Amino acid sequence: MKKIFTLSALALLCFGFSGEKKAYQVFDSKGKAATYEDILNAAKGADIVMFGELHDNPIIHWLELELTKDLYDAKKDKLIQGAEMFEADDQLILNEYLAGKLSENTFKDEAKLWPNYGTDYKPLVDFAKDHKVPFIATNIPRRYANLVYKRGLGSLDSLDAEAKKFIAPLPIAYDSTVKCYADIFASAGGHGGQNLPKSQAVKDATMAYFMLQNWSPGKTFLHYNGSYHSDNHEGIVWYLLRSNPRLKIVVISSTTQDNIDTLDKDSEGKGDFIIAVPEDMTRTQQ
C-alpha cells in the first residue's frame, strides 16, 4: 500500500501540474526563458526603461505597476515616470493633480484621458502622487500629429510659438528606411504617402524629447508606451539614441500567443525582454 501511495505521489509531482495555466512568460531577446527578476535587475541599472505595452492587456498593466513599485523601492527619488497616454499640453493639469491641488474629478474633467484610464493608468498616476514621483506627459498633442498626417511635417512650422512648446524642436528628423516607419508605409499600401509614418515619427520624437528634458544622469526614467513605439529599439529609442548615444536603455516588448511556452520567432529581438501573454487573455476596455 505504501509503495502504491509513493508511486501515486510521484505521478502527481510529475504530471499533476502539467495543466497549470500561466498568465505570462518572460523571454530574453533571443527567445530564451527569463524571469520578472531578470527584467527588474536590468531596469535598476538603466537610464531609460521603455515598457512597451499592449494597451488592452490586464496582465501587462499589472506588470507595469509591479515594476514601478519595485523600481521605486530600489531608486526612490531617482525614479521618473512618464507615458505616451498623456499629451504634453496636459502637463500642468497633471502636475496640479499630483501636488494635490486638483480633485480627481476635476483632473478627469480637464485632462485628455484615455477611456481605460481608470483601470489601467490611474494606478500608475496615483502611485506617483502617493510617492511624490515626477510623472511626465510625453506625447505630442493629438491635433498636431493629425496635422502632420494631413499636411506633412512642414505644417508644424506655421504653428504659434506657444504650440511648439509641446512638440520636439523643429525640424523633426525623419528616416523613412527605419523599419518601423517603412512597415507603417507598407501596411497602408502607400495611402497618405509618407505622412502616415511621419505622424508616428513626430510622436516618437516628441516623447523622446520630453523624456530627455526630464532625465538626468543617475536617474531612471520608466516610460509606458505602446510596444510598437519601442520594439526593435526603434521609434522612440531611435530618437533617444540620436540625441544621446551613451544612454543605457532597456526595452521591454509585449506580445500575445496561443502558446507561451516558447517565444514565436517573429517576436525575437523586439526587446531586451519580451513578455508573452496568452492570446485568449481577457482584455480591458479601450
Which mean pLDDT values do the consecutive 10-residue runs of the chain (286 residues) have?
A: 44 52 96 98 98 97 98 98 98 98 97 97 98 98 98 97 98 97 90 91 98 98 98 98 98 97 97 97 85
- Measured CA to CA, the distance from residue 233 to residue 240 in angstroms comes to 10
Q: Are the C-beta atoms of 179 and 200 separated by less than 8 Å?
A: no
pLDDT at residue 267, rounded to an integer: 98
**Residue carrying the nine cell digits 532597456:** 250
Q: How many CB atoms lie within 10 A of CB 19?
A: 6
DSSP-derived secondary structure letter, 160: -
Interstrand relation of 48-53 and 220-226 (parallel, antiparallel or unpaired)? parallel
pLDDT at residue 39, rounded to an integer: 98
Closest CA to 90 of 114, 116, 113: 113
pLDDT at residue 191, rounded to an integer: 76
- Measured CA to CA, the distance from residue 215 to residue 219 in angstroms comes to 7
pLDDT at residue 11, rounded to an integer: 44
Maximum distance among all Cα pairs of the chain, rounded to whole angstroms: 87
Strands, E assignment, 4-102: 25-28, 33-34, 48-53, 79-87
Cα distances (angstroms) measured from residue 72 to each of 76, 130, 174:
5, 12, 35
- Output the pTM of the full model: 0.92
**Phi, psi (degrees; rounded to nearest 5) at 33:** -60, 135
pLDDT at residue 286, rounded to an integer: 67
Sign of CA dihedral 108, 110, 114, 120: negative
- Measured CA to CA, the distance from residue 248 to residue 234 in angstroms comes to 14
- Measured CA to CA, the distance from residue 194 to residue 198 in angstroms comes to 6
